[in-house]
A and B are shown apart, each in its own frame.
Chain A
């Protein structure tokens, strides 16, 4: 990755403090862990954390983001560095591109097409061949990003239906529900989507791009970093749908890893730990990159994806979203 250090995942309630040039993580009944600030790329917080100003200012000075997930795995927010790496020149180009309907639609179409293909790849099934075949024509017919979001939504609903046929009854989605997720399957997808979003956001922050200026997602919602939402799309199937299938097939997760009641579900502490281990292992998985002629991890793929958009902004190089080539 461009920025040094690695991600730290905090799955238990903890206190985050500063100690000289280190961050000290204090958890109940455990000896505190000290991490030199230069070893940290970002922090992903899965549970309650208590942080003070000294820690925040050290993290901020080193441009480290603290991602906060809420109880249901939704992305609750972040502590973001006071300064970022964005450059005026790149951001100007980004604004110009997103304001140009033709350029914007080209990127948005590519994202929807690639995401659908990646969903089919992740589910490893022929059941989506029909919808996938019809998609290019539908995408071409769309006049704006909003219509594209509609097409993407339809395809996803079909795909989730197919996914359900591959899952044991207790993990089935039965339709996607978000705030809060209605059952274990939905809770899992919510966590993984939020984690993917956090990875993308960190990757974007290591580039001169501005995370809030996007192509596909509507920028009317001021709370969201729409570029991060955009770039998360092609990676969500790789992490969320695929890991859900794997967790089901390998029986990594059991109903006991979720806290469920009639209308909502979330991961238990043990479940969060399992999921964070699964994701970290997955992100560290490497594949051979033909152009770079070396192995790259999935995490690096996300970084390379952000760089493609830098190339679009700086050089007008058409953006070809990530598709698994292995």
Chain B
């Protein structure tokens, strides 16, 4: 998606001026899925790092916004429309989830901090041909800030949170780590 001329006319401030403490969309997603996963991820255990790196490279190649604005939003894309920006996040999941919305809200927060006029977000589920709108207002902003503070707290803890009940671990890429000690 190409940046709208509006975006060029109104460049966001230098991202280095904004302190996000390195909490990104992935951190928020993991926080809501399993705090332990977030802790492990932020302490350097990333079983999917290799695959993610590859996938991210492809996204960067076919979008131009990153080069223009230096805002690293991971896999999300941004539509620049008149008087604002809309964050788009595509999920291969068949199951819409509050985690996905929270992730988009976090991207909105990062953009808003950089002075971008954010209009909201959309989560796309191509496999089930559905989209979910994510509002961006005061309530949403507070929710995003709370999630970010929680993520920071979990990451900074000296010890990892306990495992979830096994059934909740299904499909988690951290299972070999959490349950593989025989």
* Contact of B56 with A by CB under 8 A: no
Q: How large is the interface on B (under 10, 10 to 19, 20 to 34, 35 or more residues)?
A: 20 to 34
In angstroms, how far is the closest chain B Cβ from the Cβ of A113?
A: 17
Which of B45, B160, B173, B179 interacts with A208 by CB under 8 Å? B45
**Residue B40, interface by CB 8 Å:** yes
Decide if A38 is an interface residue (CB 8 Å cutoff).
Answer: yes
Instruction: Report whether B176 and A314 are in contact in the complex, using a CB–CB cutoff of 8 Å.
Output: no
Return the CB mask of A289-326 against B: 1 if under 8 Å, else 0.
11110000000100110011011001101001000010
Does B177 contact A290, Cβ atoms closer than 8 Å?
no
Complex Cα distance, B49 from A159, in Å, reads 42
Stretch at the interface among A83-91, A141-149, A218-226, A273-281: A83-91
**Within residues 115 to 157 of chain B, which ones have a CB less than 8 A from any CB in chain A?**
none
- Interchain CB contact under 8 A, A289 and B51: no
Q: Is A52 an interface residue (CB 8 A)?
A: no
Q: Tell me if B44 and A317 are in contact (CB < 8 A).
A: no
A199 within 8 A of B: no
How far apart are the CA atoms of A2 and B180 in the complex, in Å? Answer: 13
Establish whether residues A314 and B160, one from each chain, have CB atoms under 8 Å apart when the complex forms: yes
CB-CB under 8 A from A292, the residues of chain B are 175-176, 179-180, 182
Residues of A close to B173: CB separation below 8 A: 2
Q: Could you say which of A4, A87, A208, A325 contacts B51, with CB atoms under 8 Å apart?
A: A4
Partner of A315 from the list B44, B51, B159, B180 (CB cut-off 8 Å) is B159
Known: A85-B46, A90-B45. A289 touches B54 (CB 8 A): no
| A291 with B44: CB separation less than 8 A | no
Please report which residues of chain B, range 6-52, place their CB below 8 angstroms from some CB of chain A when the two chains form the complex: 40, 43-51
* Beta-carbon contact of B176 and A303 below 8 Å: yes
B61 at the interface (CB under 8 A from A): no
* A289–B180 CB distance below 8 A: yes
The smallest C-beta distance from B178 to any residue of chain A, in angstroms, reads 9
Interface status of B62 (Cβ within 8 A of chain A): no
- Please give, as numbers and ranges, the residues of chain B lying within 8 Å of A87 by CB-CB distance: 43-46
CB distance from B56 to the nearest CB of A (A): 14
**B177 near A307 (CB under 8 angstroms)?**
yes
Check B182–A325 contact: CB distance below 8 A.
yes
Assembled-state Cα–Cα distance A85/B53 (Å): 12
Q: A3-B50, A4-B50, A208-B44 are known contacts; what are 13 more A-B pairs with Cβ within 8 Å?
A: A85-B46, A85-B50, A86-B44, A90-B43, A90-B44, A208-B45, A289-B182, A300-B176, A303-B176, A304-B176, A304-B180, A310-B177, A325-B182
List 30 contacting pairs A-B, 8 Å CB cutoff, sorted by A.
A2-B47, A2-B176, A3-B50, A4-B50, A62-B50, A63-B50, A85-B46, A86-B44, A87-B43, A87-B45, A87-B46, A89-B43, A90-B43, A90-B44, A207-B45, A208-B45, A289-B180, A289-B182, A291-B179, A292-B175, A292-B182, A300-B176, A304-B176, A304-B180, A304-B181, A308-B181, A311-B177, A314-B45, A315-B160, A325-B182
